[in-house]
Structures are given as structure tokens and as C-alpha cells.
Amino acid sequence: QVWANIDAQLAAAGMTKADIVKVTVLLADRQYAMANRAARAEYLGPLAPAMTVAIAGIFDAGWLLEIDVIAAQ
């Protein structure tokens, strides 16, 4: 769902995932690392924006991850 939300925000700004230059992913727990990597690879395909992934306590205990994307044209 999170990548669909990112697509929607990019589209609202007249951009696509090809415009992503930086992705920051905060994972609630290391156990989600492989699933995150697979979902990210499926979404980004051959695109290779700068990437930061960190294991961090997240404010809302119901969230498994937070993703921050910077895009530019």
C-alpha cells in the first residue's frame, strides 16, 4: 500500500517513480527487512535512487515502516 500512496503523491505533482532521487526507509524491526527489500525492488525495478534504510523505533506502534521519498524533475 505504501508504494501505491507514493505513486499517488507523485502523480499529483506531475511526476512518476522515475523522478525519485532519494528514498529513506525506517523499519520498525529488522524482521521486516527482506520483505521491504522485495517490495522496494518490485516497485523500483531498474531504478536506483539514493537509498537509506534504518531500523528505528516508529512513533505509531501499528506501523511497520515509514518511507520518505524525494523526487525532482
Q: What DSSP assignment string belongs to 26-41?
A: EESSGGGHHHHHHHHH
Query: What span, in angstroms and rounded, lies between the C-alpha atoms of 32 and 19?
Result: 26
Q: pLDDT (tens digit, 9 = 90+) per residue, 27-39?
A: 999 999 999 999 9
Band of the pLDDT at 73, cuts 50, 70, 90? very high
Q: Is the pLDDT of residue 14 over 90?
A: yes
Band of the pLDDT at 60, cuts 50, 70, 90? confident
Band of the pLDDT at 58, cuts 50, 70, 90? confident
